[in-house]
Amino acid sequence: MKFNNSFIQSIGIIMILAKLPDDGALKSQEISQRMNVSHSYLLKIAKKLKDAELINSIASKTGGYVLNKSVDKISFLDILHATEGKNSFIEGIDFHPIDSIVSSNETGEEKRIVIRNIFSEAEKNYKDILNNHYISEIISQEEESNQKTNWTEMIDLEEKELLHS
């Protein structure tokens, strides 16, 4: 299984939002700027996270995105499901090249079943591991409590420094 950019960027979005002050929200433009990613692509990913109820958007002058759940309740599997869906990895895989190699007799059928079972077990283990790890594991204790980051101020400072250099 290859990690898609949307999965990795989703982790980044949630990490940024986790570092906001409790009453803070961050606009999509600020998130994409901070992560140095395409704004239009970030909007698509944020919609998936919002649809999965991992984040929420607040429509106002000072609004933006906020976490909808605590970081100790957001598993990596939640993020994977939000960005990639809940379909099986092996769903839709064309096993024809392998099927054509093994004979069509009873032994061939057993081999095809073994191959599919190996892939199914690998997928189950992969998802179990992601389900047992939470965003809180990559957010330090200080960031979760009182030392939140004001991303808007940080981005503004970086822009000013670039203008003066």
What span, in angstroms and rounded, lies between the C-alpha atoms of 131 and 78?
7
Residue 90, helix vs strand vs coil: coil
What span, in angstroms and rounded, lies between the C-alpha atoms of 46 and 41?
9
Q: 115-125 burial, b for 16+ CB within 10 Å, e for fewer?
A: eeeeeeeeeee
pLDDT digit string, tens, across residues 95-126: 777 777 766 666 667 777 888 899 999 999 99
Q: Which domains are present in the chain?
A: 5-140 (1.10.10.10)
What span, in angstroms and rounded, lies between the C-alpha atoms of 127 and 80?
9
Residue 56, helix vs strand vs coil: strand
DSSP annotation of 40: H
pLDDT digit string, tens, across residues 6-28: 999 999 999 999 999 888 899 99
pLDDT digit string, tens, across residues 24-68: 899 999 999 999 999 999 999 999 999 999 999 999 888 899 999
pLDDT digit string, tens, across residues 60-103: 888 899 999 999 999 999 999 999 999 888 887 777 777 777 66
Longest dimension (CA), the chain: 75
